[in-house]
């Protein structure tokens, strides 16, 4: 229990590939923290990226997690009071939050076609964080008006250079604002808006919420009291704290785990097939051995060489 509230933690994998040992280690911390506090562990299927998420990865994800020894009491396969637990089935919640942010004047439409708009569906892991947006479309709200098919370019106010493209929507940060929080694992953290991250996409021009918004909406709606995830998402936490504030939602506590890297110091990713839970299982390695290995600080010396 924390502050009288039952501890609620979550595992939030994206079914874009097979889970690997790095996921398992972070998730194990999440599970241990939930169990240690007599709390509840929720599984959420973060499948908003339609191009990369595949049904076969969802079933593999459930199977691999169970094999490894994870137990969730709410989730896509078991239901629960905050169902559905699959993000693609929760669109109305994201849309409502988006409309609230837009009505509150926190957002502006952006017609820049940039990699960060394309990538906004995924959590930005190490080396994937977007460059600080230069603010090209800041102040362009007036160039769009609400029309029958949603937001349309207003020809009487012809600022944007790409009038026919649907805009994505960015959250406007206050340049120079320090966003600070206490991390349960790493201690005090501070990120400066406009320097460490810029105006970020919350709604994409193909009508999907960005990871940052969907994550905040779900963690709040599911009553999550502590978010346990990889340290590469620290700057995402700073962005998300701004969204909690703008939406008037209570932010959870945060606990960011050190990343697992291969022998070359590269963060484990879904391309490290040799370290996927699937491959390890087929090779007859047991979850207990794997856990004992990471406690001893070993990774793959006896598990095979990660693929480049």
Which residues are tagged catalytic?
270
Residue position matching structure tokens 């969907």:
214
Site for ligand GLU in 178-197 (CB under 6 A): none
Structure tokens given for 36: 């240690």
Residue position matching structure tokens 């191009």:
51
* 33 and 40 Cβ atoms separated by less than 8 Å: no
Crossing angle for the helix pair 287-295 and 55-68, nearest 10 degrees?
70
- Whole-angstrom distance, CA of residue 21 vs CA of residue 278: 10
Among residues 8, 9, 12, 303, which is the contact residue for ligand GLU, using CB under 6 A? 12
Q: Is 112 in the site for ligand GLU (CB under 6 A)?
A: no
Q: Is 220 in the site for ligand GLU (CB under 6 A)?
A: no
Residues contacting 96, CB < 8 A, separation 6+? none
Nearer to ligand GLU (CB atom), residue 13 or residue 209 = 13
- Which pairing describes strands 107-110 and 168-171: parallel, antiparallel, or unpaired? antiparallel
Nearer to ligand GLU (CB atom), residue 17 or residue 109 = 17
Nearer to ligand GLU (CB atom), residue 14 or residue 29 = 14
- Whole-angstrom distance, CA of residue 68 vs CA of residue 19: 11
**Interface size with ligand GLU, residues (CB under 6 A):** 8
Nearest CA-CA partner of 213 in 115, 106, 127 = 106
* 172 and 201 Cβ atoms separated by less than 8 Å: no
Stretch of 9-17, 58-66, 75-83, 131-139 lying at the interface with ligand GLU (CB under 6 A): 9-17
Q: Is 229 in the site for ligand GLU (CB under 6 A)?
A: yes
Sequence length of the chain is 308
Interior angle at CA 225, CA 177 and CA 258, nearest 5 = 70
Nearer to ligand GLU (CB atom), residue 112 or residue 214 = 214
Site for ligand GLU in 267-296 (CB under 6 A): none
Stretch of 7-15, 70-78, 136-144, 190-198 lying at the interface with ligand GLU (CB under 6 A): 7-15
Site string for ligand GLU, 86-105 (x = CB under 6 A): --------------------
Q: Is 215 in the site for ligand GLU (CB under 6 A)?
A: yes
Q: Is 30 in the site for ligand GLU (CB under 6 A)?
A: no
Nearer to ligand GLU (CB atom), residue 101 or residue 234 = 234
Q: Is 143 in the site for ligand GLU (CB under 6 A)?
A: no
Nearest CA-CA partner of 224 in 36, 27, 12 = 12
Interior angle at CA 255, CA 253 and CA 259, nearest 5 = 155
Among residues 19, 123, 210, 303, which is the contact residue for ligand GLU, using CB under 6 A? 123
Q: Using alpha carbons, list the distances in angstroms from residue 175 to 58, 98, 100, 193, 234.
A: 39, 22, 22, 5, 18
- 3 state SS of 126: coil
Least gap, CB of 179 to ligand GLU (angstroms): 16
Among residues 7, 8, 9, 13, which is the contact residue for ligand GLU, using CB under 6 A? 13
Nearer to ligand GLU (CB atom), residue 53 or residue 137 = 53
Least gap, CB of 3 to ligand GLU (angstroms): 22
- 3 state SS of 69: coil
Q: Is 31 in the site for ligand GLU (CB under 6 A)?
A: no
Least gap, CB of 186 to ligand GLU (angstroms): 15
Residues at the site binding ligand GLU, with contacts judged by CB under 6 A: 12-14, 46, 123, 215, 229, 233
């Amino acid at each position: 229990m924390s502050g009288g509230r039952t501890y609620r933690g979550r595992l939030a994998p994206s079914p874009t590939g097979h889970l690997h040992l790095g996921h398992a280690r972070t998730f194990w911390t999440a599970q241990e923290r939930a169990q240690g506090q007599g709390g509840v562990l929720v599984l959420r299927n973060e499948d908003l990226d339609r191009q990369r998420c595949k049904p076969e990865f969802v079933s593999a994800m459930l199977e691999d997690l169970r094999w490894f020894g994870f137990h969730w009491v709410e989730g896509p396969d078991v239901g629960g009071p905050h169902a559905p637990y699959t993000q693609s089935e929760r669109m109305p919640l994201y849309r409502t939050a988006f409309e609230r942010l837009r009505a509150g004047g926190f957002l502006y439409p952006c017609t820049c076609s940039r990699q960060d708009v394309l990538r906004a569906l995924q959590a930005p892991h190490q080396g994937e964080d977007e460059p600080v947006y230069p603010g090209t479309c800041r102040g362009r709200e007036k160039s769009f008006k609400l029309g029958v098919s949603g937001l349309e370019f207003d020809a009487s106010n012809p600022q944007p250079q790409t009038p026919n493209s649907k805009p994505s929507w960015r959250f406007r940060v206050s340049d120079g604002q320090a966003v600070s929080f206490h991390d349960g694992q790493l201690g005090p953290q501070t990120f400066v808006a406009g320097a460490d991250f810029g105006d970020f996409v919350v709604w994409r021009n193909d009508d999907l919420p960005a990871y940052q918004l969907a994550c905040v909406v779900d963690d709040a709606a599911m009553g999550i009291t502590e978010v346990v995830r990889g340290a590469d998402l620290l700057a995402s936490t700073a962005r998300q704290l701004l969204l909690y504030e703008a939406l008037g939602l209570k932010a959870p506590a945060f606990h960011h785990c050190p990343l697992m890297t291969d022998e070359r110091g590269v963060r484990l990713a879904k391309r490290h097939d040799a370290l996927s839970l699937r491959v390890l299982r087929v090779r007859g390695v047991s979850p207990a051995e794997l856990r004992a290995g990471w406690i001893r600080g070993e990774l793959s010396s006896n598990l095979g060489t990660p693929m480049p």
